Amino acid sequence: MKNHNPSHSVLIGYVLWIFGFTGSERFYYGKPISGTIYFFTLGLLGIGWFLDLFLIPSMARQADLRFKEGKINYDVAWVLLTFLGLLGIHRMYMGKWISGIIYLCTLGVFGIGYIYDFWTLNDQITIINSST
């Protein structure tokens, strides 16, 4: 069996789960559709949020199979996006300085870019990690 570092941490999943009524942990594990549903329904009125408490380990395993490890750490990028995303800090961390500065000056291009990054951050990181 191949020994590797996981791309997505169970611990970070649980930290984001605290904000799960916003769908944060679902976005983190590469499930943007259910993340969006959670966002608009407050975690399926709390029921889905509670169930995710038990589903996080399997979502982490699935994400590890889908996303490529590399120089950009998914955990760091997701924590930066979740807590400082409107300031573009996560984009600067990924080496996207111009868009990071634009986010900083426009509060994540008025929040739209921030939401876009919740949908696409895993893929953005995978592309960067694949090119190294």
Per-domain residue ranges for the chain?
10-66, 74-130
Q: Hey, what are 59's tokens? A: 């979502």
Which two tokens mark 106? 């426009």
Of the two residues 68 and 85, the one the predictor is more confident about is 85
Q: Is the dihedral of CA 20, 25, 27, 33 positive or negative?
A: negative
pLDDT in tens, 70-113: 999 999 999 999 999 999 999 999 999 999 999 999 999 999 99
Tell me if 107 sits within 8 A of 88, measured CB to CB. Answer: no
- Report pTM: 0.88
Instruction: Give, in order, the Cα–Cα distances in Å from 31 to each of 8, 57, 97, 101, 130.
Output: 13, 14, 27, 27, 21
**HSE of 5 in the Cβ direction (CA atoms, 13 Å)?**
8
Burial 30-47 (b: 16+ CB within 10 A, else e): bbbebbbebbeeebbeee
